[in-house]
A and B are shown apart, each in its own frame.
Chain A
Amino acid sequence: MGGDEVRSLPPLPTTLPISEMRALIAKDLSEPYSIYVYRYFLYQWPELCFIAIDTSTPDYDLAACVICKLERHRGGPMRGYIAMLATQEGYRGKGLAKTLVSKAIDLMTEKDADEIALETEETNRAAMRLYESLGFLRSKKLHRYYLNGNSAYRLLLYLKPGVTSIPTDEYFDPYGSDALPPSAQDDSTYHEALGNYDDELFG
């Protein structure tokens, strides 16, 4: 990887280039995330954030980053979640994203994750190829998941046998821990939709 270096972050709040990360991720997002979204992840799971910096540049430019979390999914399996991933345009196609995501998966595995989940836009071939080459499968399609009207795929990777038979808590607070479509952020009826059994069992 030449001058790039992949490393796990020191714990917050020392030197995290949060606004650079935010700028990098926001570039490819159809909708803006508030700073709290970044803090939410980085403060609680700093070790699951990996960045690649270009040490050949004077300011150690940020080349790529991945942001994740890991917690029990509806009281059931230990689920890792890849929330955001991006590689700076000039650094793409060099294997950076694959390396960072692999690091995250390795650490989650070490931390006893049962499965890893994420969503990606149905038209995002690059992301889909990347994740599928790592072993993820599209588990379901989500109709008009994003604010821009695009549908998404939920991708899943099982790390252990028997994940499907880990019981989940049917009455688990559905908005407590699961990922949310950005487009549902303001919508009170979404609470009802989530309360709907539909999403609770088939994650």
Chain B
Amino acid sequence: MFLALREIRAARGRFLLMGLVVMLVAALVGIVSGFTTGLGNDTVSALRALPATHVAFATGAKSDQFNRSLVDEATVAGWRQRPGVEAAPLGVTITRGTTGRGLEIDMAAFGVEPGTFPAPAVRRGTGLDAARPGLVISGKLADDGVRVGDTVTVDRLGLRLPVTGVTGDVSYGHVPAAYLPLDTWREIRFGVPGARTTPERLPRDASGVALRARSGADLAAADHALGTLTLPMSKVLEAAPGYKGERVTMTSIQVFLYLIAPLLVGAFFAVWTVQRAPELALLRAIGASRRRLLSYTVLQAALVVVAGTVAGGALALGTGLLLGAAVPFSLPAGTLTATLAAVALVGLAGTCLTLRRVTTPDPLTMLGAAR
């Protein structure tokens, strides 16, 4: 501590500057991470909320499966018969509506069979009922001003749906989710505006089959027999529109920041070490071990990196608060801590790149009198 702190104090301008740079990088990493989580939630939280282990899609759909895939009732029934698997049909489609009070909303309509496991739990109001049409909305729609008891008219068809309950703050493809009975979903998905098709004459299809499979259940055999393609939830998330692209974008920004941080810190400490070389030579000449020089330099690095990172974390949190609920930003304590720990770690790794130089100044250079 003795030398570490006094040297920092004497060179406080330089260390402050370095601390600020670390702070900004850490804040940027924090903010990007907040957007990664926020955007991710905005895109797939409704899928994450689904208590399923897998989803079976039609084989033809290779991407954007919720939009492209259609499975018929026979397939759903086939899946229900498989041992070790609980299956329920699921329909997903994005549509728009207007409430009785003129509020226009976008909603990701999730068609489920009431009573099956994909049906949402409600926070307020009542759940879906097979006997009558109804709508259980995401908490986000409730935040936007839709209330239990409102009637939402689906714009395309004029279909009127009473809001019966509110579930968690879930959304899909940046659109708040709204759950409705599968039959109603079919009207939205397959109904043609103007043509008064009765529900019985619409296709009896769903987007996919939500599965709750016990470990050991032979999903491949079922896929083979039923002509479906089953994906685990981690892959199902990628079926959500935009999810993969957002991930790649945000992750590559983070990766670059993780590369930049150690180089910045490393460059600073390389210069710092070169500037100190005569003093390091003096310390070696009066008997300082290499270890002592290393440990106090590492301590200096740790101080500036940790202080900068913590300040950066605070800045990221502050930014999150300023942005408010309007933008998809979410930075839970756990994520923030992990992110900051990673920044601090790569920052210190950057110092280690230059540490060898700390021990190289030759004490014999002290002999060459006035330099």
Q: Do the two chains bind?
A: no
Q: Which residues of A contact B (CB under 8 A)?
A: none
